[in-house]
Every structure is written in C-alpha cells, then in structure tokens.
Amino acid sequence: MKKLTLSLILTLFAAAFFVSCGNDNGETSTTAGGAMSEEDKFGGTLIRASWNPPSGNFLSLITSTDNDFLVTDVVFERLITINDKNELVPALAESWDIADDSKSVTFHLREGVKWHDGEEFDAEDVYFNWKFICDAGYTGPLYSNFKPIIGVEAYHNGEADEISGVEIIDDYTIKISFEEIYASVLTMVGTKANLIAEHVWAGIEPAKAPEMTEMLRNPVGTGPFKFAEFAADQYVSMVAFEDYWQGRPYLDKIIIKATNQDTAQAELLSGQINYMTVSDFNPDDMGLFESEGIQVLATAGGSYQFMGVNHQLSDFQDVKVRQALMYGIDRQGMVDNLLYGYGELLTQPLPTSSWAHPGLDKLNMYEYNPEKAIELLEEAGYSYKDGIMYKADGEQLKWVLKYPSGNKTRERSAPVIQQNLKDIGIDVELQIMEFSTMFKQLNNDDFELFLIGFGAGVEPDQARFWKTGAKYNLMNYENAENDRLIEEGISYIDNETRGKIYGDWAVYLNEDLPSIFLYTPQLGCAVSGNLRNATAPNELWYAPNTWYYAK
C-alpha cells in the first residue's frame, strides 16, 4: 500500500504558476518612423506586479517564494539557464563537457564576468556556492540536488572538509563527478542555483544566513540588474548593471510592486504597472485588454491535468477501455470552453513545451468520437443497448469520479466528463472533496476515477509519477516497457540522446494510456502595448536585459 505524506504530494502536484510569455515581434519592433535604432531602445522603467510583497530575503540560495525570486532572478545568475523553448542554454557557464561514461561534467565558465561590486567571478565562487548548499546548516531547498555528487554526504555530515567529487581545474573550469549517472544534473545543478559571491558571504555560516538581515536585503550578484532599494510591503527597485557581461540592459530600472489582484487590471490600463501575470483568460478581460492596446502573451505551460484510473480494477486493465475513455471525452471542448482556447490537448505525459516532446505527428490525438468509444468498449466485452453500456453480468457500467475542490477549471470539467460518459452509456457519480480527503482515499486505493494535475517542469524524467512502484504512481500502473524506457532515459546526460528516448516513451504511453490525459493549460501575462521581448518560459524571467520599450 502506498504511504505518502500530504506535504510531499502537495509539493509535487502543485502546478507552479510561473509566468510564461512570448511575443511575435520582439526582434523587429518598429514605430511609425521605421525600425528603432539600438540607441533608442535604452531607457524606461518596468513596473511588474507581485501579488504578495517580497519578504526581503534576497539570498538566492535560500529564497523560497516567487515574490522574492522576482528579485533574485534578475540580480543573480545560474551556470545554465532555460530559454523560451525550454532548452538548456549557457549562462555563467559558456559550455560544458560530459565524460564518455556520463559520470562527470566539466563546466567552462565565462571570463570577464563581474559581480555588482566590481570583483571578478571565477570557479572558486562556484565551489563556494556548492559547499554552502551542502553544509549541514544549510536551510534552503537545494541540498538534495547535489547529493549524487561524490563526497557530498561526507562533507554534509562533517566527515570531510572538502567535496571530493568537485575539482577546480583552473580559474574558469570546474568539474563534478558521480558514482552513478546523474541524468538530470544539468537541470538540477546547472539551472537551480543562482550563484552568490564568495567574497561577500565568506565567513558566514550557512545556518546563520537567514539572520543576516542587512546582507539579505543588499544582494550582490552578476545579473543584468543591481539591487537598489527595498521598501517593506511596497516595492523593490533594481537598476541596470553597466558592466553586465552581455552589455548594459536596455531598461534603466525594474520595480517589483506589491499589487492587489482586484486593482491590478486598472493599474495596468492606467500605466501604474507594466506587467502582470494572467491566470484567467476570460474573453471579457481579453477584449478589454485588446481595446486598450495591452498585449496578452501566452505559451504552453509545464503542468497538465488528467483523469487517473485504478489499474488494480479489472475495468481499467484493458487498454481498449482506457482508449475508449480518451475518445469518449470532449477534451477539445474543455480547452475551448473552460480554458477559453488557452490550452492544449494532452495525450501523454510530455507537454509540447518539453524539449523531449516527440512531435504531434507521432501521436494519436484521440479526437472526440463517441461512436469509436462505444466500439472499443464493445470490443472489450461490454454491450451497448438503448443508450446504456452493460457489463457482462447485465448491470450498467458505473463508476465514481473523485476530484478535489480549489481548481475552478478542474471543478467545471468534472460535469463535462460525467455528461460525455453518460452519452456512451456509462453512469458516473461525482464526488468533490478537500484535497487532503481525496489524497487519503487515493493512498488507500479507494477510488475508481479521479481528477488531478501534475507539474512536469523542464525535466522530462517523470519516473516518480509513472514507474512501477513509484511513490506518486497513484494509478497503480505497472508496465515493463514503460519501466525500461524510463530507466534508459536516466542512463544518459546529453539531451539529444535523452530526448529521443523520452520521445519514444511518450509515443508508447500515447498508445498504452496509463491514465486519461486531458489538457495542458497555457500560462500568460498582460503587458504594456509598447513593451518588447517580454518572454519567460516556465521561468519568472528570461533575458530581461533584452526587454525594451518601443518609442
């Protein structure tokens, strides 16, 4: 029987709503007078709404809320970043080499990068950050990302003064090694830690870092914007870093402003803010934005919604039944009517935003087809007569669909599923409940059908959800080929090889259907009509140094 903690499951199931935006004309913005000159792009202030005020904890390695990440993600930088196509691209590491046995990675750092106080960035800074994270007194969320590195646990436990699996080769080259292949190392180590300066934090014990209020509120990074001012419960301001390694940002200043969601729309229309996230694409709001020249930018998100089935029950052990449910539910109708078109159909666990997605041409999209659903159910041994689907014992096919309260779109999708399945003769009873209540029932295998969402993120390895016996495999799905492909996917580090494997895995699950995949909601933002290059794929920021106002 599955034994999970509620806090862990909530963490994994919560779809982190990071803003995800893009525009079509970011590189060639023009005015009535023609293309803008490079000089004309400089200047202006971006005021970005934050639904809760930043706390003042601007030490990137221990920051834990989006409100503070809005600050730290432009003040600090990572070795690797994620671009608007969800690809890993160089940042403070200009390149990296993977050993032939895939058990080590060597990062080649950029030369000439400066901290905001003028000091030079080098490999010692990187190693300092890793030791800070791996210290026994570290209070942030990143330690588990580094555990696979050789010697980390010994250092963490006080059994060694250094991390034996880290080698500084020269001032701009650093290598990490693992006992076993660490497939997601580039994501988990390269993209998760925004690096802090050794010369600033040397001598401060990691356990005491949360107490260093003055330092927390005056961060020094290498990012495109320097910290300027923190007004508690009101705003944080940052100014362009003149010596930024990619060149001075176009914007003069960025302000993160605590904003009430009830007044945010009015503030955007009046110019008091220039950027806000959008979670509801209500046509009335979209029409108002369009009429006022506000841009609404959207892209595929990294989370997805699905209807889980209990594979321990005979009804769901036949793949034809699962395929029938895919055909029998009007999933496109959900996207069109519940998401107002701001979403995508999902037919396997990788959203189209994933770099490992195999391509829609390789997938069965299971377009709504009640007749096909009835045909498959009859092939599976059920019989359909006078609008009712009968089991072999002559009873009508009946199931209970459980779903948690709180997600309004998901709540509205349950009656749609109920009606769709009624149309193919299946009687579905709806049971809405608190998440904690439903979780307990799922944990005890007390379910037939349930609605829930998973947050996939950039990393395509979803073994924790779909592998046989995994903690979060709530569906009790067991399949040897699925397990083989998942295990093969974590046997390599390079994304080209991994992408093909996970693409094959997605195609396989598109046929075998461990659950009934529904949709991926899009993520969006509304921004001033003349703001260009505002784009952030599953990240709070992407390349803010390139954002500018068309004049």
Confidence of residue 24 (pLDDT cuts 50, 70, 90): very low
User: pLDDT class for 30, splitting at 50, 70, 90?
Assistant: very low
- What number is the average pLDDT over the span 180-189? 94
Residue 17 has pLDDT above 70, yes or no: no
d(CA 192, CA 189): 6
Work out the pLDDT band at 84, boundaries 50, 70, 90: confident
Query: Across all residues in the chain, what is the average pLDDT?
Result: 91
Measured distance CA(455)–CA(2) in Å, rounded: 20
**CA distances to 6, 143, 185, 189, 203 from 154, in Å:** 30, 13, 19, 18, 21
Which of the four pLDDT bands, split at 50, 70 and 90, describes residue 471? confident
Per-residue three-class SS string for 369-436: CHHHHHHHHHHCCCEEECCEEECCCCCECEEEEEEECCCHHHHHHHHHHHHHHHCCCCEEEEEEECHH
Position 415 scores a pLDDT of 98
Q: Where are the domains of the chain?
A: 52-223, 304-341+356-519
- For position 16, what pLDDT does the model report? 33
Task: Please give the pLDDT value at position 65.
Answer: 84
543: left (phi over 0), alpha (psi -120 to 50) or beta: left
Q: What does the pLDDT look like over 195-207, one tens digit per residue?
A: 999 999 999 999 9
pTM of the model: 0.83
Alpha helical stretches, state H, 448-531: 463-466, 480-489, 495-512
β-bridge partners, 82: 88
Answer whether 249's CB lies under 8 Å from 544's CB. yes
The answer on pLDDT for 21 being more than 80 is no
Which CATH fold topology does 304-341+356-519 show? Dipeptide-binding Protein; domain 3 (3.10.105)
What local confidence, expressed as pLDDT, does residue 536 receive?
54
User: Which tokens is 441 given?
Assistant: 């029932």
Three-state DSSP class for 520? strand
505-538 residue pLDDT tens: 999 999 999 999 999 998 889 999 999 999 754 5
Spatial contact of 270 and 257, defined as CB atoms under 8 Å apart: no
Position 153 confidence tier, pLDDT thresholds 50, 70, 90: very high
Residue 12 pLDDT more than 80?
no
- The span from the CA of 179 to the CA of 12, in Å, is 27
CATH of domain 52-223: 3.90.76.10
- The string of pLDDT tens digits covering residues 311-326 is 999 999 999 999 999 9
Mean pLDDT of 361-388: 98
Interval 338-347: pLDDT, tens = 999 999 999 9
pLDDT of residue 538: 59
pLDDT above 80: residue 394: yes
The pLDDT value recorded for residue 504 is 98
423, pLDDT greater than 60 = yes
Q: Are 302 and 538 in contact (CB under 8 A)?
A: yes
Q: What is the per-residue pLDDT for 50?
A: 94
- pLDDT per residue over 437-469, tens digit each? 998 999 999 999 999 998 877 889 999 899 999
Instruction: Give tens-digit pLDDT for 53-70.
Output: 999 999 999 988 888 999
pLDDT at 305: 95
d(CA 22, CA 325): 34
Identify the CA nearest to 315 among candidates 427, 434, 462, 196: 427
Q: Are 31 and 551 in contact (CB under 8 A)?
A: yes
Residue 364 tokens read as 């069965």
The predicted-structure confidence for 287-307, as pLDDT tens digits, reads as follows 999 999 999 998 877 789 999
For the chain, what percent of residues have pLDDT higher than 90? 81
Full DSSP string of 299-325:
EE-SEEEEEEE-TTSGGGSSHHHHHHH
